[in-house]
Chains A and B, each alone.
Chain A
Amino acid sequence: MDHIVKKIDDFYKRLEKSNKWKIIQPILVDYGATIAFIFLISFNILFTPNFFQISTFLLIIKQTTSLIFVAVGMTIVISMGGTDISVGSIMAFSGILIVQMLVMGMNFYVSIILAFIICALVGTFNGVIISKVGIQPIILTLVMQIVLRGFTVMLAKSTVIPLHKYKLLYRLGIMRVAGDIPIQVFFFAFAVIIAFLLIKKSVFGKYIEAIGSSRKAAHLTGIRTDFIMILAYILSALFASFAGLLEMSRTAALDPNLLGKNFELDAIASVAIGGTSMAGGKAHVLGTIMGCVIMTMIGTTVNMNNVPIAVSNIIKAGIIVFSLAIQHKSTD
């Protein structure tokens, strides 16, 4: 084992010392997602029957939209040097809250807002414990993941709830605007714009990167690090709860065990592929979005070529390992 590790290490050292790698590495980190995206598209156009149609693209976007929201929140949290693996469960939790309130006869919009507020409180809790108490983010959010999933299953009484009865919620899933464009496409665009402004252009985004770069330095520069960290976890929870609403309406059913399941992993993978530094300090918004589309397209590609769906997980894993290996920085 040691022998192999040493060999890999030597390989990297040689790569890093060689001049070509110095030029190629940043390009791969920054544009790796774009390259993979182009590769996937060309592969599909060449080999997948019926792929090159507008409806296929709209379908991919429709399927990606919920993941995009989760991944935008994840980009914020990861580039701040944290992580949030409770988002999948928050999606389900937000879903069950909305449905429960609808069952109780509440107004559709009021129940959404209330559910979002409750999820924001969950995010606040995450942020406060992580920043003030100093518990490892992965541990705390793992606990939240388990607890919230438990609450969701309990509230749903372990049954799948069909949503056809709730007209507004059902319509949100199948609505088409301007002729034939699914409403998800607009949410997709909305997420991209918000993410870009929030992470790349705003003061908040700058503070996030600063904290990810060096929390102590950020604190000593007068940034209210705890406050910003709490805000990041709140945003992550809010994005997840919106994703929960979208995903539940798209599938027209609420399965308390499956809604949002593994979304945190797909989101982390998208962020990694996109070139956001896993150690924090550098956010790549467009990379993340590209990453999300790639994650969905892997599934679609496998599906449309009649390959068992399990294969897509293996491909995803390979891509994640590859993108992290590229990020591997020299310790020098």
Chain B
Amino acid sequence: MENNNILLKMTNISKTFPGVKALSNVDFTVNRGEVMGLLGENGAGKSTLIKIITGYYRRDSGSGEYLFDGKPVNPTNTLAAQKLGISTIFQELNLSPLMSIAENIYLGNQPLKNGIINWKKMNEDAKKAMLDLGIDVDVSKPINSVSTAIQQMTAIARAISTDAKLIIMDEATSSLDNNEVNTLFDVIRKLKAKGISVIFVTHKLDEVYRICDRGTILKDGKFVVCKPMSELPKLDLISYMLGRDAREIVNKKKVYNKEIQENETYYEARNIRKTNCRLNGINIHIKKGEVVGLAGLLGSGRTELAKVIFGDDQKYIGYTFLNGIAVKFRSPHDAVKNKLAFCSEDRKAEGIFPYMSVEDNITMPQVGKLSKFGLISRRKQKKITERYISKLSIKTPSSKTQIRDLSGGNQQKVIFSRWLAMEPDMIILDEPTRGIDVGAKGEIENIISSIAKQGISILYISSENDELVRNCDRVVVLYEGKNVKELVGEEISSESIMAAIAAGKS
């Protein structure tokens, strides 16, 4: 007899795309009321598997078996999967921005009265559904006026209202801050209590340990292992994902070089304030060739400070100095002219030019210099591009390939090349490893340390404290728009950074 505790059982699933075998003979099971982590590097086949579960793709004909709730199923589109009880909550949420929370929950199955929508009942039901998840919110508010976290809860409430038995969360936490993540995890626990299963896909390994019961690891489209999280130490997990021993990558700390503190100050910002209170008097200086980390919670003012420094935001009070001379950048154009560079945390929206070639993406700040009478020299463009493709070992079919066809790690390398090509004096890196898988992360960090060795100052913003420990000479901790602590050299550790953030809180 089949084990009745199993909700989803996939055996021997294969999926072939023209030229690529995305999945080969993968097994995947989810129990009732279980949170299953689906883990692996980019390209490991996670999203292909998810898309087969939700009916977006079909598995290769004749391959394997797909059982849901004990019955063989074969959803042909996402709607069919939803009818079976499989809902997906994407990173970019499928909500109607101008409609209210209640409308979004019941869109398509609004409670009716004599053929028209029963608004009163809908709002009451919605309120109850949100309270069920522990969220007290005005459900008549339009969805674009509430935080991403509440939007996600709305999507979850919607899934529950359609009798979902399995909810798939694909990178659901990537745009949430710590508190919001906690709320989401509380909700996931409530879902578990109701017997609803969750598949949790993420790059953030710490979260996997906090919420998942078991983890399934894929690599190169193949099933590697499925184990309870308690039997899967972090280093083993990473090693499984990479297919090699991870020990030498993770436990590294930057060798502290005291001499850097003797260098001249390259950039200084004094008493930076913004009237909307995101910045409350930040003082920061960066010496030549120094890597300064900026730690703090989401909303502590890290990105805001970066944008002030780079001239993207002029509505601030305070003084900024470059090589000891007072400057004020009126736009990023000014900053670039003064040899500053900035890699945004939102690579997709603020970094890449998705439909342009790798070549254009790398040389964009330079094209003015590479031109005669306003016409661009293709030859020079190509020379620079080829130099950086080999220097940073960017994996791309050609320099003419559109950048959106590259993996996240390679896109980031293209952005680095863009700035390195203009030989900057300082680079601001805002979450440089966000959305990049573990293997490429190591590579990106190696590039960063080689940049620092060239004498380029770096302002390194990151939410991942161990990343700061591995890369920074000095870490400045921000809390609510103020610098509350400075850690130098040997003082830097994950614990000391956390302690400083916690101390700021009290």
Contact A214 B371 (CB under 8 A): no
Binary CB contact string for chain A from 209 to 221 against chain B (1 if under 8 A, 0 otherwise): 1100110111111
Q: Which of A64-72, A92-100, A197-205 contacts B (4 or more CB under 8 A)?
A: A197-205
User: Roughly how many angstroms separate A313 CA and B280 CA in the complex, as a whole number?
Assistant: 61
Q: Which of A201, A218, A219, A220 has most chain B Cβ within 10 Å? A: A220
A275 to chain B, nearest CB (A): 12
Interface residue count on the A side (C-beta < 8 Å): 28
Interface residue count on the B side (C-beta < 8 Å): 31
Contact B353 A222 (CB under 8 A): no
Contact B355 A282 (CB under 8 A): yes
Residues on A with beta carbons closer than 8 Å to the beta carbon of B300: none
14 contacts between A and B (CB under 8 A): A197-B375, A201-B376, A202-B375, A210-B356, A213-B355, A217-B349, A220-B312, A220-B344, A220-B350, A221-B365, A222-B336, A223-B364, A224-B333, A281-B355
Instruction: Choose one: A202, A204, A220, A282; the contact of B332 (CB below 8 Å).
Output: A220
A23 to chain B, nearest CB (A): 10
User: Roughly how many angstroms separate A114 CA and B365 CA in the complex, as a whole number?
Assistant: 36
Show the binding face of B for A, using Cβ within 8 Å.
Answer: 18, 57, 77, 310, 312, 331-333, 335-337, 342, 344, 349-356, 360, 364-365, 367-368, 371, 374-376, 418
Contact B332 A214 (CB under 8 A): no
Residues on B with beta carbons closer than 8 Å to the beta carbon of A10: 77
7 residue pairs, one from A and one from B, having the closest CB atoms: A222-B336, A213-B353, A281-B355, A216-B350, A222-B333, A202-B374, A201-B375
Residue ID in chain A nearest B337 by CB atoms: A222
User: Roughly how many angstroms separate A210 CA and B400 CA in the complex, as a whole number?
Assistant: 15
A125 to chain B, nearest CB (A): 22
A111 within 8 A of partner (CB)? no
A50 within 8 A of partner (CB)? no
Residues on A with beta carbons closer than 8 Å to the beta carbon of B367: 203, 206-207
B351 to chain A, nearest CB (A): 6
Contact A217 B336 (CB under 8 A): no
Instruction: Choose one: B18, B57, B342; the contact of A220 (CB below 8 Å).
Output: B342
Contact B312 A219 (CB under 8 A): yes
Residues on B with beta carbons closer than 8 Å to the beta carbon of A306: none
Whether A203 touches B368, Cβ cut-off 8 Å, given contacts A220-B344, A223-B333, A281-B356, is yes
Residues on B with beta carbons closer than 8 Å to the beta carbon of A281: 353-356
A19 within 8 A of partner (CB)? yes
Instruction: Choose one: B18, B337, B354, B364; the contact of A221 (CB below 8 Å).
Output: B364
Contact B376 A202 (CB under 8 A): yes
A234 to chain B, nearest CB (A): 16
User: Roughly how many angstroms separate A217 CA and B361 CA in the complex, as a whole number?
Assistant: 10
Instruction: Choose one: B77, B355, B376; the contact of A277 (CB below 8 Å).
Output: B355
Contact A220 B310 (CB under 8 A): yes
Instruction: Choose one: B351, B374, B375; the contact of A217 (CB below 8 Å).
Output: B351
User: Roughly how many angstroms separate A222 CA and B344 CA in the complex, as a whole number?
Assistant: 13
User: Roughly how many angstroms separate A277 CA and B353 CA in the complex, as a whole number?
Assistant: 14
B353 to chain A, nearest CB (A): 4
Residues on A with beta carbons closer than 8 Å to the beta carbon of B374: 202-204
Contact A217 B353 (CB under 8 A): yes
Contact A222 B356 (CB under 8 A): no
Residue ID in chain B nearest A222 by CB atoms: B336
